Structure 1
Amino acid sequence: MKLANVIIVLILCLCFGCKDKPENKEVIDFIKDIDITHGIADDELDTSRKQPIFNVDVSLNGKKVDFTQLSTKENVVFMDAGLNIKLVNKNKNVCMLNFISDDLYTTIPNSFTFQSVNLPMNQQLISERKRSHIQVYIPETNTNKDVKILYTGEAIIQKLTEDEIEITFQGKARTPGETEPEKLYDFEGHINIQDYNIYDIRHNK
């Protein structure tokens, strides 16, 4: 069972489980404070880095989401066939990106056109299908309505090294639990991060 799959499922279970609850503290706290490095030994963190450089441009329906003044701690996890990125700014805006693919570290650029949110929940833990999961949490009204997840579209890993990651994505996002097709949001982003801290838990490096 892949760690990347487990992380996605935990997020989705909590998000979609609160469809009829406009204020769900457990979901809010989980998304705000989720630690993608939980259980990883400190000696697996590479801290011998230069000053991190983060350029994060994310927008919903043409309106930019503030991702200035980002935390530069515990941002990136390299896993076997998996990549996890967590970006959090001073206002607790969160952008989570997760990619699963057997050719993740060997194919660049790498296109992902299937989103994890479209898998049946019972397949989230066991499916090895190539996919991505991208979501933002914007705690402006303190409800689960602030969560938006890429539903259709494409994410592309343009660069992936231990020193630089560049990702672009464009498509439609929706709020967890929302099923009405007209309630979709234009969702796009360009992320470039350099000299970040890495947790590398790959068995085959």
Structure 2
Amino acid sequence: MKNKLFVIWYLFLSIALLIHFSITILYNSPVNPITYKYYPAIQSYMQPLFNQNWKLFAPDPVSNNHKLLVKGYYKGENGKENETQWIDVTELLVTELHKNRLTPLRLAVAQITTSTIETVNKYATDQMKAEASVTEDNTQKGISDNDRPSYEELINHAINGDGAYPRELIVLRGASSNALYKTFGRHFDEIIIRINIERFPDYYDYIMEEDVEIETIYIQIPKIPYKEISEL
């Protein structure tokens, strides 16, 4: 009797595990005719207890593209302020990097990329604080954190000589000024830095929805002085 129960229990567990791992494999597999046909059933089984995604391998998988752009301002012979077109600093750096994979520029590119992301995150934090400050809950609690200067206010203080530029902006300012100098062979008076952000939807959204598009937004930093520099 015990052997019979053991066999039944063994078969039950084997079938259950086989079904579970089969569905898990389909859930994590690239979209194909089978996963497309049984997508609702697979999602119903996996959500929410067995939910998995690529965050299992990367805590914060890349879903955005960041491009660093800069525009230079200078006074002409007639005293009138002139401006350049937008220069894609990121593309210039990547092009130089592809010419020589062993160049020390790789470290500079990594630092610029990190500084770009830090700047985006700080603007995003300011936006979240601004949205939270208008809620009834935060109004009642009187969150003191909202009284701190915003990131853009810190930049304006630095421009006016009342404080230092944030570390990441010092990096972006140097890289942007260098890109302008290399492109036009001259120095400038002021620059405007812009970070373009392309947000990509989840992969399944491309398959399951027809009107999915890449969202493009940008962050523009106030006009700051040009950094006279000829080499990165």
Q: Which TM bucket (shorter chain)?
A: under 0.3
The structure, 1 or 2, with the larger RCO (C-alpha pairs under 8 Å, 6+ apart) is 1
Question: Who wins on radius of gyration, i.e. which is larger?
Answer: 2
* TM-score normalised by L of structure 2: 0.24
Q: Would you tell me which structure has more helix in proportion to its own residues?
A: 2
